[in-house]
Chains A and B, each alone.
Chain A
Amino acid sequence: MEAGIPIWWISLLLPLFVGLYGLVDREKGKPLAVLSLIVLLIPGAALFYYWITGAVTSAVVDPVKIDLTRHGIGVFYLFVDGLSAPIVAGISIVTALVALYGLKYMSVRIEEMREAGETPPGIGVYYFLYNVFALSMLAMALSSNLIEFYFFLEVSLVSSFLLIAYYGYGDRRKISLLYFIWTHVAGALFLAGTLYYGINAGSFDIVKITSSGITYVSPAYTVLAASTKIAASLIIIGLFIKMAVFGVHMWLPYAHAEAPTPISALLSPNLIGIAGYALARFAIPLFPGIFQSLRDYLVILALTTIIYGGLVALRQTDFKRFLAYSSVSQMGYLLLGIATLTSYGIGGAMLHYLSHAFGKAVLFMTAGVFITELHGLRDIRKMGGLARAYPLTAAAALLGFMHLVGMPPTLGMWSEVLITIGVMKAYSTLSAPGLVALALALILAFGVSAAYAFITMRRIFYGQLKDYLKELGVKPGYEVFDYFKAVVLLVAIIGVFYFVAISPVMASLKPASELVSSLLAG
């Protein structure tokens, strides 16, 4: 269905205008934070409306499109269907609430940097880059065309690079450069594969939009024949690096740990997960045969990523680095769902994007609460017993961890259920020993996630207050429940809300996932 107003273009342009206003008035954060909150929530609110009315089931397309067919590029649409709906919702809700959260965090951060004799750009610049970053991720999720997707990918990389370089921690110039190079290697591989395919095909469109809904273009081997493998490997490896699966994950712990925390809260769940979405949206429809031949390897890679990321996370002493490894592990779940090549698995992966977005954003924001209020405290070894001082933050963090582990009443349960069904469907022909082995592998993977989540919950929040904290004056009732912590709890509660209100999400996810998996059947 075509939307009555250019809702998705509005969703992209309003944050840009708010951001530009930040460049004009660089030192006033408050109006920028509130405006960003409002404009970034627009796509999420619109989407909720389309979910309720059922319009998402067929796809909601923006009436404004950019037709570049004459140049051999194709058409740039902005649209949302059941597959991208969880992605759009996740980006919109998280970026909006983190924008508000960032007001206090970044004011403190910039103050702190200035006291240290550094000259970071003012908070207006932060909100400019922040809004550009947010809208570029949103645009990636709305894209119908590979070049369109790539363009916004670049925008997101440059804006996030600058955010890390300006406001990051540690050796931030080196780390931002490291981030820049890694993500551009990924981007360049993706672009090379894309160009190779698109120039031969005469168009970079992946999705054809008609009045009745969307269809996918023919698989790449119809135009590339024997060279399909080259294009496929370039695109898939590029996306794997962005997604940080085991082996090419090494950039992520640096970047996500040292970015300013509100940006970590966007990088970790929102940005890297888009690579998973792109696998389902672009890579599978283009290269169904290749995915089928790689299925078992990808499932093993996914399980390895889950277990490896989880176990290495357990050894981290830095809260944010711990969360970064946890993100690696969570990307394993996305890949696991996608690698099953079943509709349940693919849908589950998209839903897991949303639950991870809520959960990980909550946890990064929790880390940020302590960094802001406890003099930059990030070392887990110095934490302990914080639940009595910060009961509501602890409650939010528990809900955040439950999202990752997949426990009701959080949205995580639904993605866990879908991914499990997907795995069992993919391997429905196993013999008895195979079934037992698969069950053990799943139990191990899910068990490691629960272990790192709840062991870390204990290390940070339970036990007696550590001496270090006592010296800071932390005691029961220390927590002041201001907007800063309220948004943390709110994101967690939205995750619970989606757990209950799952019906419309599932209704639209089903046909979209089945459309992707049907491409694999032939």
Chain B
Amino acid sequence: MSNATTKIAVHSLADLKNTTDDAVPNYMHSLKFRQIHTTTDVRLALGYTAVAISGALFYFDWKMGWDVTKPYTLPAVVAYFILNSLFSYWLWWVEAGAIYEGEGKTGKIRIATSTKKHIPIYEVDVTFTPAPASSNPPQTIHIRTPFTRWFTSDGYFVAKPFQQWLASEVPIVGAADPSNVVEEIGRGSETDKVLNATGANAMNILEQLKTAGKPSGGSSRRRKA
């Protein structure tokens, strides 16, 4: 897990995405969401079973030689590649970029993230079921925003704007964390400046500057996107 003190290279899309991905479970945990690991565990089980088969074959081949292991080699190879295909299927079609799955008082949520090659925009697919699950159908929304929203120009992740963005865009996160819901009032490129100046946010922003601005005073001034 990375925290606000880890500095990343702002031009590395992988760094931007991974750092942001790591911030999601932290944030959700702070909202008393319980993370559900089932899909990850299934993938790990498939993968490690395949590796175990291959490891066993390697060991017996090494100890006893080809003549002894020959009859077992074909079944082992077939089983390995079946498991390996299932693993890939699970990774690409079932998990499909999911970085968080969890459940809280306000509902269930699954968050999958991606980026397009060389474009520093965080693409997020959120599937959520507001509580109570019995009376609400699951909904899927796609939200996207530039990473500049929560990274300072010198590469520090700032949690507050990220949490505000998530809470404002995803209803069940907003319901769990009303203090982070901010309204977009739509005044073009100056929106953020105006938001920064509103009374409701002032204390938050100040705190934000105190904590995030630690490494250098300049960063806070430049963070206007």
Q: Do A and B bind each other?
A: no
